[in-house]
Chain A
Amino acid sequence: MTRPMTDRLASLGRGGINTVGSLGRSGVFLWRALAGIPRPRVGFPLLVAQIYSVGVLSLAIVVVSGLFIGMVLGLQGYTILSDYGSEQAIGQMVALTLVRELGPVVTALLFAGRAGSSLTAEIGLMKATEQLSSMEMMGVDPLRRVIAPRFWAGFISLPVLAVIFSVVGIWGGMLVGVQWLGVFEGAFWSNMQSAVDFGDDVLNGVIKSLVFGVVCSWIAVFQGYDCVPTSAGISSATTKTVVYSSLAVLGLDFVLTAVMFGGF
């Protein structure tokens, strides 16, 4: 075997070991952050503050995106469905698309970009400026104090944002379909109501966004905590958060869709 060949094999092996190692570390990290119930007196205000910065501050981008996506769906759906003379089905199309897919997925992508990256940067900077270290030396576990509230805040906020996204999107679709293009409003709602099932569609969408909430928050806080504490390290960790979260969300979405709607 030639030298470059063994080198390549070795680098493949090193990559594999690093990947498995960081997966393991992130698992231990999450376990240590979440193990043990925090004292409510201390934990609750921290959680509220994080839901504010992770959830409430992401509301604007989620609402605006939801509105536009719903309007685009209404417009596109109308042009296609009117070819078959069934533009009443526009409500059904908009609602199903949003509730099952676009609500959870687009919200998770926006969340990764808006909140995940800022979580990573914040935690990374706290690490770089020794704030996490100094917390440890004060006898305060940064995993409990810094990481856990941020993780839970992401986990709680994402489903809430996704549901709001879907509702705003459906309203946007109605705006275009009913107010602008003149689809009969009664048909719009009744078609939607007969097509959308609460358990199969709405709740499955919420389950999806719960899963995405875990994944996005986990990636964001871990990348921040595990980053190289330099400016280059923080910037690469922030990029990784967005890239990994997006890929994980899209990949998991396929798996979840196959399980939920694929008839397996």
Chain B
Amino acid sequence: MTQRTSEITVGLFMVAGFAALLMLALQVSGLSLKPTSDTYTVYADFNDAGSLSPRGKVAMAGVSVGRIRDISLNQKTFQARVAIEIESKYDGIPADSSAVIRTSGLLGDQYIDISVGADEASLADGDSFFETQSAMNLERLITNFASGR
């Protein structure tokens, strides 16, 4: 093993390491190389935010269009105020669309689904959804059903 060959092997080793890290970044964590700044923020007020969490999925017709940035309690209405970042390329979402909390599968994560409205105007940065539908609470559903209401 001469100095030269060991240098080359070590070089290849380091390159393999970087390639693996790049693979973890792009393929595994789905990191895109585009700057993440091109989003706009809209708000949705829910009576019950369920188990939504920051970084959660926001979808429209099953296609991921954004992420949940932040969830806080509105002290006046005592509703959950969810800040949603939507990618700028989806800029034509009708202003009267509604935000619905859905569950993926029976036991999966909860996510926000935007069901499309009919308004000609579009949601812009800082707008809020008119209509929201809170998380389906399985326990409450069963209680309601059992008490016959």
Contact = CB atoms under 8 A, between A and B. Distances in A.
Nearest to B105: A86
Interface in A121-175: 157, 159-161, 163-164, 166-167, 170
Interface string A84-96: 1110000000010
A189 interface: yes
Contacts of A261: none
Interface string B4-24: 001101100110110011011
Interface in A217-240: none
B35 interface: no
Interface in B4-49: 6-7, 9-10, 13-14, 16-17, 20-21, 23-25, 27-31
A160 B24 CA distance: 12
Contacts of A157: 13
Interface residues of A, number: 33
Nearest to A45: B3
Interface residues of B, number: 27
Contacts of A45: 3, 7
A48 B30 CA distance: 33
Interface of A: 45, 48-49, 51-52, 55-56, 59, 84-86, 95, 99, 157, 159-161, 163-164, 166-167, 170, 189-190, 192-194, 196-198, 201-202, 206
